[in-house]
Amino acid sequence: MLGLVCAVLVGLLWAFQRRLVYLPDDGPVPAAATVLDGGRDVVLTTADGLRLGAWFLPGPSPDAPAVLVAAGNGGNREHRALLARALGRAGLAVLLFDYRGYGGNPGSPDEAGLGLDVRAARAWLVEEAGVPQERLVYLGESLGCAVVTALAVEHPPAGLVLRSPFVDLAAVGSEHYPFLPVRLLLRDRYPVAEQVARLDVPTTVVLGTADTIVPPAQSRRVAAAAGRLHALVEVPGAGHNDLVLLDGEELVQAVVDVAPR
């Protein structure tokens, strides 16, 4: 009987695991201008034909560096408005976009799909907004760290900021489900540490020392693996979802420090 119960649990995890990984708020999302002064709504088109909603906040000058923000696994772009405002006050342009299945977008999220989504975001910044690749900074939040790190392997930015990164998805999953063979079961891998080691890009890792979602030790391992570590910023007492890790001074300064002058 115990074996049957375990088999059923493993089967359910295999079938429904992405519902545990991806926690989208599917909207509705307001117009950019009602949330961000000077912001505008844009549409990103992915290689597999999806049209994704996004907000673009222009910088104070045409040559301002731009920040491509890849969010974590929850919420939608409205929840990152405070971050966009803070980065805008620091003199940076900002693109907030929602993955497929988030913020009213079509599709269902998975690792391959999020890779297509972030590529569409980068392409829009370069081709439509006219931001040179060497003026781009990638900022990833938790799961978004994996998304932008994979993008950086293909299209290196001027700087990379990883907020609360994990070593890979199985490593963080094993922290929360130690009784299950997580590494054997996971469909999506997100190998952050492996990919960041391949980069020759100034990379800053920001972590909260009281993070119970992504253990600080995992973020420190990502920093240790970085091919070109610019800084490791530890925010004392900060938990994974605390506002200080959304738009706090330490995070914003970390982005400014790796942005091109």
Structure tokens at 184: 């054997």
196 band by pLDDT with thresholds 50, 70 and 90: very high
Residue 68 inside a domain? The answer is yes
Q: How does residue 185 score in pLDDT terms, banded at 50, 70 and 90?
A: confident
Which pTM does this prediction carry? 0.93
Can you give the pLDDT at residue 3?
Answer: 52
Is residue 92 in a domain? yes
Model pLDDT, residue 4:
44
Predicted pLDDT of residue 26: 80
Residue 14 included in any domain: no
Per the structure, the count of domains in the chain is 1
Range of the domain at 167: 24-258
Flag whether 12 is in a domain.
no
Which residues, in sequence order, are CB contacts of 102 under 8 Å at separation 6+?
A: 24, 25, 26, 71, 75, 76, 77, 109
Q: What percent of the chain has pLDDT over 90?
A: 85
Q: What is the mean pLDDT of the chain?
A: 93
In a domain, 40, yes or no: yes
What percent of the chain lies above the pLDDT cut of 70? 93
Residue 166 lies in a domain: yes
Distance CA(85)–CA(78), nearest Å, equals 11
**d(C-alpha 115, C-alpha 155), whole Å:** 12
Q: Tell me if 239 sits within 8 A of 208, measured CB to CB.
A: yes
**Using an 8 Å Cβ cutoff, are 19 and 5 in contact?**
no
143-171 pLDDT per residue, tens: 999 999 999 999 999 999 999 999 999 99
Q: Is the pLDDT of residue 5 over 50?
A: no
Position 6 in a domain? no
pLDDT digits (tens, 9 = 90+) for 201-226: 999 999 999 999 999 999 999 999 99
pLDDT per position as a tens digit, 70-127: 999 999 999 999 999 999 999 999 999 999 999 999 999 999 999 999 999 999 999 9
Instruction: Provide the CATH number for the domain around residue 203.
Output: 3.40.50.1820
The answer to whether 190 and 138 have CB atoms below 8 angstroms apart is no
pLDDT(11) > 50: yes
Q: How many other C-beta atoms can be found within 10 angstroms of the C-beta atom of residue 19?
A: 8
Q: How confident is the model at residue 13 (pLDDT cuts 50, 70, 90)?
A: low
Is 109 part of a structural domain of the chain?
yes
